[in-house]
């Protein structure tokens, strides 16, 4: 039998394989344990292998490519439509095998181990920042119980340290010792975040695409490295609007009967990239009246008739489109100080 296409449903320990021949007939249906997977595929002739893009998919894609197979990853949401009835491993593998042959299917680029390492730095930094924010909020809340109120923000934490050092007369000793432990934890988290940011800065300086992205207003090293590591080939998107739609920065549609109904942004795609772009757009909008660039003039006109938060999301959408153009054309952002877009 000649297997042409294989659908592989991956898991932690047991994988489901579904293979078809050139007539579309199923000729291979079996479960394979993790330690036997490469041996099974090593015994097959090079063929098309489809998988859903998930946490471990890029690792297995690199391994199967090394065996000579043509591996393609697909978003799980696009594969779901091909599951015929009940969901199980065999049905999922069959659906993957069907979806990977569709001419209109969209595929996810396979990431290298280096790029995955950069994205791991981003995920670790995001986790540590959230943990630090939680600790700072806890310290402010505990101090408020004793009548000590401080402004919000990590930069205001230094104002609380003299209160902890003062000790007697302000806080009970037991409470002071507990808050000192929280302060030490915050300092340790800050050092870890700085180490990660140093690693990201070093990668940024060695990556031309990331350096080009930094030329966009509102895009710093963190956003630039995240975009460069996530979007390996911007030409996979037909336009900047499609890229913005992939990030969930365009209105959600519920149109029917020739009547368009648009709602809020879809919030689909990579939540982390969307978060970074919106944060950067917030800074652009905050200081937009001091600038005289294309984006600032355009944002000022919107602020005259729209709420600030809506304008922020609109600027994030515009930044996403600019980022696509910068990556696709491989050139720096060129600001035009007079005309609006």
Q: Over its length of 341 residues, how does the chain's per-residue pLDDT go in tens digits?
A: 689 999 999 999 999 999 999 999 999 999 999 999 999 999 999 999 999 999 899 999 999 999 999 999 999 999 999 998 889 999 999 999 999 999 999 999 999 999 999 999 999 999 999 999 999 999 888 888 988 887 777 877 777 777 777 665 678 888 888 998 999 999 999 999 999 999 999 999 999 999 999 999 999 999 999 999 999 999 989 999 999 999 999 988 888 888 888 888 888 889 999 999 999 999 888 887 777 778 888 888 888 899 989 999 999 999 999 999 999 999 999 876 554 44
What is the count of structural domains for the chain?
3
Same domain, yes or no: 72 and 151 = no
Same domain, yes or no: 298 and 270 = yes
Same domain, yes or no: 66 and 133 = no
Same domain, yes or no: 175 and 257 = no
The rounded distance, in Å, linking the Cα atoms of 290 and 284 is 10
Same domain, yes or no: 37 and 59 = yes
Residue 265 lies in a domain: yes
**Could you tell me the end-to-end alpha-carbon distance of the chain, in angstroms, rounded to an integer?**
59
- Residue 3 structure tokens: 């297997």
**8 strand-pairing partners:** 17
Same domain, yes or no: 15 and 80 = yes
Contacts of 64 (CB under 8 A, 6+ apart): 38, 41, 49, 71
- The 10 Å Cβ neighbour count of residue 95 is 22
Same domain, yes or no: 119 and 171 = yes
Residue 108 lies in a domain: no
Same domain, yes or no: 159 and 239 = no
Residue 236 lies in a domain: yes
Residue 305 lies in a domain: yes
Domain boundary among 189, 206, 223: 206
Q: What is the CA radius of gyration of the chain?
A: 25
Residue 85 lies in a domain: yes
Domain boundary among 180, 206, 232: 206
Same domain, yes or no: 118 and 83 = no
Domain boundary among 185, 206, 227: 206
CATH number reported for the structural domain that contains residue 33 in this entry:
3.30.420.40
Residue 213 lies in a domain: yes
pTM score, whole prediction: 0.87
Residue 340 lies in a domain: no
Give the range of the structural domain holding residue 76, as residue numbers without chain letter: 5-99
The rounded distance, in Å, linking the Cα atoms of 250 and 241 is 8
**Are the beta carbons of 289 and 325 closer than 8 angstroms?**
no
Q: pLDDT value at position 167?
A: 60
Same domain, yes or no: 214 and 324 = yes
Residue 334 lies in a domain: no
Same domain, yes or no: 21 and 81 = yes
Same domain, yes or no: 222 and 253 = yes
Apex 331 CA angle, 329 and 334, nearest 5: 115
Per DSSP, helices labelled H in the chain are 37-42, 57-66, 76-79, 89-99, 113-144, 161-166, 173-206, 208-213, 221-230, 240-246, 271-286, 294-303, 308-329
């Amino acid at each position: 039998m000649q297997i042409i296409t294989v659908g592989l449903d991956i898991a932690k320990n047991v994988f489901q394989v579904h293979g078809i021949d050139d007539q579309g007939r199923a000729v291979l249906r079996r479960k394979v344990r993790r330690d036997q997977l490469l041996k099974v595929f090593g015994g097959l002739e090079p063929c098309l292998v489809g998988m859903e893009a998930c946490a471990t998919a890029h690792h297995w894609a690199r391994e199967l490519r090394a065996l000579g197979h043509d591996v393609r990853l697909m978003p799980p949401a696009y594969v779901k439509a091909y599951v015929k009835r009940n969901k199980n491993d065999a049905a999922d593998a069959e659906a993957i095998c069907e979806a990977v042959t569709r001419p209109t299917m969209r595929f996810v680029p396979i990431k290298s181990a280096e790029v995955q390492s950069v994205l791991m730095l981003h995920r670790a930094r995001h986790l540590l920042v959230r943990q630090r924010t939680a600790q700072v909020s806890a310290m402010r809340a505990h101090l408020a119980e004793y009548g000590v109120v401080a402004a919000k923000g990590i930069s205001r934490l230094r104002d609380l340290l003299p209160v902890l050092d003062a000790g007697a007369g302000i806080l009970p000793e037991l409470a002071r010792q507990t808050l000192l432990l929280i302060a030490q934890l915050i300092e340790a988290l800050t050092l870890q975040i700085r180490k990660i940011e140093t690693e990201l800065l070093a990668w940024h300086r060695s990556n031309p695409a990331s350096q080009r992205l930094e030329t966009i207003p509102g895009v710093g090293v963190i956003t630039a490295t995240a975009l460069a590591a996530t979007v390996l080939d911007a030409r996979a998107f037909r336009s900047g609007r499609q890229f913005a739609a992939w990030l969930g920065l365009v209105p959600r549609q519920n149109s029917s009967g020739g009547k368009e109904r648009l709602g809020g942004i879809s919030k689909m795609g990579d939540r982390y990239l969307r978060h970074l772009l919106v944060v950067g757009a917030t800074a652009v909008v905050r200081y937009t009246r001091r600038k005289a660039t294309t984006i600032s003039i355009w944002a000022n006109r919107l602020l005259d008739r729209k709420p600030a938060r809506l304008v922020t999301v609109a600027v994030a959408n515009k930044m996403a489109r600019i980022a696509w153009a910068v990556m696709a054309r491989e050139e720096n952002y060129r600001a035009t100080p007079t005309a609006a877009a």
